Amino acid sequence: MLEILADRTYRHLFGAQIVALIGTGLATVALGLLAYDLAGDNASLVLGTAFAIKMVAYVSIAPVAAGFAERINRRAFLVVLDIIRVAAALCLPFVTEIWQIFALIFLLQSASAAFTPTFQATIPDILPEEDRYTRALSLSRLAYDLENIVSPILAAICLSIMSYNSLFIGTAAGFAASGLLILSIILPSPNPSQPRGIYDRTTRGIRIYLATPRLRGLLALNLAASAAGSMVLVNSVVLVRGSLEMSDSALAWTLFAFGAGSMLAALLLPYLLDRIPDRTVMTAGGFVMISVLIALTAIVTSTGLSWPALLAAWFFVGLGYSTVLTPTGRLLRRSAHAEDRPAIFAAQFALSHGCWLIAYPTAGLLMAEAGTTVTLLALTVISGTGLGIALHLWPKDDPEILEHTHHNLPLDHPHLGNKRRHSHPFVVDDIHYRWTTHL
């Protein structure tokens, strides 16, 4: 897996991702503690609202940014967005009112909504071979897991000698380091295949996404993952600091357990995906998450919550969560031409976070109003519904290659190659999407 780091451009991008995510992880711990200080037992409601605002920014900003990013220098665009994130992070230590949290979260996450899909769409342009790209996805997943492993450890160390507000300085430092690493390399910026209007550029990715059966299944799996993940990210602070009456450091270690499970999955997935279809692997991850939520509900109902049970549950939820989400980039890469990748990655970013927009406030509101058991049951139902929809929408015999062809080309046109086609293509505007397999 590590051999792809020999590519200098990818190595610097991977480093930028690591330092930015470590900073984000510090902010996640600090934000939970800040919300608890300002709102006490209603911290889940505050965090749920803050995360919902984050999702509104992601859903609304990402497609628009993708529509214009294809006409802007990619490196400069990413660096400017990092500068905006640094500025927002530096303001967070001075927050004294709940509304200020909401305003700064919207600014910071609007910049992230433009940054992340642009960053993700760059990787397949740098590593076009699927086996190398698969390993890059797993490394990327490991980088995300650092937010839940290294960051809580650093947070626990820092919290022993300083206040949580100081963690926001680490967040700003992470974004600044990310910008410097991106400045040190040259990034490809593919041009669109033809001039398009603003409406076409901003909606094209979503229209392609929703017309593709495997991606509709992926969206349902994102709903399953968001329901399970929101229980961890929104309610851990209340479970640890409120129900269990444990320390700030215990919260960091609880989030560490989630990240450890996620990292283990990311390490195993390159080998699994070489042998087992993506659909099988990803739906198995969904079953793991749901089974763990059911088991934790039974424990809370029968004997009450304990910290060892919570740690074990979050570890296996993290394992299933990463198994669902890590292969996402493979599906997106297979389902779009290179010039459409920024748009379709932005569509995944926006639509998947639309699922989080449902899950975050649900997790926060139910925890504040109905308690742990009801919240676990509700999120288990949402997660199970997402998995069931995914199994229905994503065909079992889904081929590896999804061919994109212009509607005015005959089936025997040489541009289409020697492929076997199903007789019923489906249409989005001027493009036919035909399921194909190699003969």
Beta bridge partners of 31: none
Reported as a pLDDT band with limits 50, 70 and 90, residue 198 is low
Number of domains in the chain: 2
In a domain, 353, yes or no: yes
- One domain for residues 227 and 372: yes
Query: Domain residues for 86?
Result: 2-187+197-393
- Indicate the pairing of strand 431-438 with strand 401-406: antiparallel
> Do 333 and 419 belong to one domain?
no
Query: Looking at the structure, do residues 263 and 333 belong to the same domain, yes or no?
Result: yes
Query: To the nearest whole percent, how much of the chain has pLDDT over 90?
Result: 23
Residue 436: is its pLDDT beyond 60?
A: no
Averaged confidence pLDDT in the chain: 78
The answer, as to whether pTM is greater than 0.85, is no
399 located within any domain: no
- Per DSSP, the chain holds a count of helices (H) and strands (E) of 15, 4
| pLDDT at residue number 256 | 83
Q: How many CB atoms lie within 10 A of CB 279?
A: 21
Tell whether 192 is covered by a domain.
no
Q: Are 102 and 51 in the same domain?
A: yes
Same-domain check for residues 301 and 232: yes
Shared domain check, 124 and 93: yes
Q: Is residue 164 part of a domain?
A: yes
> Within this chain, do residues 71 and 121 fall inside the same structural domain, yes or no?
yes
**Residues 20 and 82: beta-carbon distance below 8 Å:** yes
Average pLDDT over residues 4-8: 82
pLDDT by residue (tens digit) across 99-126?
A: 887 888 888 888 887 887 777 778 877 8
Examine residue 398 and state whether it is found in any structural domain, yes or no.
Answer: no
CATH of the domain at 20: 1.20.1250.20
Burial of 283 (0-12, 13-18, 19+ CB in 10 A): buried
Residue 159 in domain: yes
Closest C-alpha to 112, from 71, 78, 150: 78
% of the chain exceeding 70 in pLDDT: 79
Residue 348 covered by a domain: yes
Give the pLDDT confidence score for residue 438 in this predicted structure. 29
Please check whether residues 374 and 410 belong to one and the same domain.
no
My answer on whether 69 and 119 are in the same domain is yes
> Which of 221, 153, 187, 2 is closest to 78 using CA atoms?
187
Q: What is the CA radius of gyration of the chain?
A: 21
- Which residues share a beta bridge with 434? 403
User: Residue 136's pLDDT is what?
Assistant: 78
**Residues 368 and 277 grouped into a single domain:** yes
Cβ atoms of 123 and 10 within 8 Å: the answer is yes
* pLDDT at residue 219 in the model: 94
- Smallest CA-to-CA distance from 327 within 138, 96, 150 is with 138
Residues 6+ apart with CB under 8 A from 94: none
Q: Are residues 132 and 262 in the same domain?
A: yes
Q: By mean pLDDT, which of 111-125, 167-181, 400-414 is the weakest? A: 400-414
Q: 46, 98 in Cβ contact below 8 A?
A: yes
81 with 166, same domain: the answer is yes
Average pLDDT over residues 238-265: 84
- Residue 16: inside a domain, yes or no? yes
